[in-house]
Chains A and B, each alone.
Chain A
């Protein structure tokens, strides 16, 4: 666990003249489970995109899984990195017109190359592995259903099954439960935590009740900077409320979800650390 998976030093990401992310020093060990919290535009997604080379750093040192992402890495280098990094995004991050099983098999594209991957004629052991992964997330019965016919929760489960097939060393989850109802959100988080047993897991989470499921360590981002970096046990409601409060606002704006949906989710439920 002591080995370093990710190391950032004086990293700055700039887009359209605005600093999206400005991180002094951050290191994450292999097997750690990290949650990133922060207001919209705090730099959470930018951080995840930085780690997969989809967003270049303006300056600073970025090391991910022993690979140096400085300057402009060769496409080959980036692809090699992305094969080891599993990603789950909010919304539909699947190929809508392919079946659930084919989407899971996308995870094996790093190993299956050439014409076989063009016509999606995967080796038998990969297909068996994909079916096992679908079984693990409870969706084997929907294997031949097209991805755009699945519900939001089912889509995220297919994405998790894809992770199981991809077998990444690092998993990045960007608001994996954003569009899900509370029951489905809990289920998806459990499955995600299981899928990440042998990997480093970094997730962007808005719902505090899901934090303990996915993380041991919480990093709070505010305006692109790290506001706090603490073990989960010491993160309380007050710290989160402060994090989401606009800088100059005098009356403490309540937490975004309570404001937008007060009837469905009570304040207690939102701020409770219980699962």
Chain B
């Protein structure tokens, strides 16, 4: 038993743990470096009086604007400094109008998410067929498809949106295309995995009775793949409903536009209303899609 053998033994015994220890150390160093440099640049401050600001913002958030539809002042008078009445505003009417606009914006957001998801799924389908390893598409085509999917997945929807607003102009079209292009990457990966996890026994079973390729596809491949496709479609769709609320920030229409408006005018009450609508819409869609996906499995 030489020293060499002993060293080998020690390495084999502990290399796994040493490796993990090393990685942990690197991680701790990285976190320390981030904190240290930010502190040195004096960028870790919370502003001049964070507490007062917090209380003020929370107070305004706690009074969502939609309450004014019922409880607002029907004759709010705007006066100049000398007391002359400039304008009388019916707060109830104004907020009811805002709520109607919010409804239209929500509908726009849902339309962007729905059409964008469908576009992404349709674009991804042929690419997924090319990338699925068990279907053995020609190598160059498979690499090309995988490259396209990887690029689509790594570019954020907002970036696609910014570029597309420049090309097709402001409005929902840019949002639909942005959602479609980004989620194409996600769909491609999920679809390819569904195809790769195909039940080969089922395919053999149908092939062994002398079925033609089209019969094999419709009787073995399709029933196995369809529920997974529908399930991933619902999942990405659900994700896009959340994602598209932000797209208005860059002028693609929908709820995001109202968020930008409310924040730039410091109307926290209205922002609160918008956020409540978003939370309701997203959780309703989540619950629905979860139900359907469970039923499909």
Contacts and interface: CB of A to CB of B under 8 A. Distances in A.
Interface of A: 52, 54, 78-87, 89, 91-98, 103, 106-107, 109-110, 113, 117-120, 162, 166
Contacts of A120: 218-219
A166 B209 contact: yes
Given A106-B219, A109-B219, A117-B219, A95 B205 contact: yes
A80 B207 CA distance: 11
B214 A118 contact: yes
Interface string B212-250: 101100111001100100000000000000000000000
Nearest to A83: B210
Contact of A110 (B199, B202, B210, B219): B210
B211 interface: yes
A211 B259 CA distance: 77
A109 B223 contact: no
11 contacts: A85-B210, A87-B208, A93-B205, A94-B201, A95-B219, A96-B224, A98-B223, A103-B205, A106-B219, A109-B211, A109-B219
Contact of A94 (B202, B207, B218, B227): B202
B206 interface: yes
B202 A82 contact: no
Nearest to A91: B201
B204 interface: yes
A236 to B, nearest CB: 34
Contacts of A52: 208
A79 B213 CA distance: 10
Given A95-B224, A96-B199, 18 more contacts: A54-B208, A79-B210, A79-B212, A82-B207, A82-B209, A89-B201, A95-B220, A97-B224, A98-B219, A98-B223, A103-B205, A106-B211, A109-B209, A110-B211, A117-B215, A117-B218, A120-B218, A120-B219
A203 to B, nearest CB: 15
Contact of B201 (A78, A82, A83, A93): A93
Contacts of A54: 208
Nearest to B212: A79
A69 to B, nearest CB: 14
A81 B208 CA distance: 10
Interface residues of B, number: 20
Chain B interface, >50% SS class: helix
A162 B224 contact: no
A238 to B, nearest CB: 36
Contacts of B201: 89, 91-94
B108 to A, nearest CB: 37
Nearest to A163: B209
Given A92-B201, A96-B224, A119-B218, A106 B210 contact: no
Which of A78, A79, A81, A86 has its CB near the most chain B CB atoms (within 10 A)?
A79
Contacts of B207: 82
Contacts of A119: 218
B7 to A, nearest CB: 39
Contacts of B218: 117-120
A153 B208 CA distance: 20
B38 to A, nearest CB: 54
Contacts of A84: 210
Nearest to A87: B208
A78 to B, nearest CB: 8
Contacts of B215: 109, 113, 117-118
A70 to B, nearest CB: 19
Contacts of B209: 82-83, 86-87, 106-107, 109-110, 162, 166
Contact of A95 (B212, B223, B227): B223
B210 A82 contact: yes
A59 to B, nearest CB: 25
Contacts of B205: 93-95, 103, 106
Contacts of A78: 210
Nearest to B217: A118
B208 A95 contact: no
Nearest to A119: B218
A118 B218 CA distance: 5
A187 B215 CA distance: 32
A106 B205 CA distance: 9
A91 B200 CA distance: 12
Given A109-B215, A118-B218, A119-B218, A97 B208 contact: no
B216 to A, nearest CB: 9
A113 B208 contact: no
B112 to A, nearest CB: 33
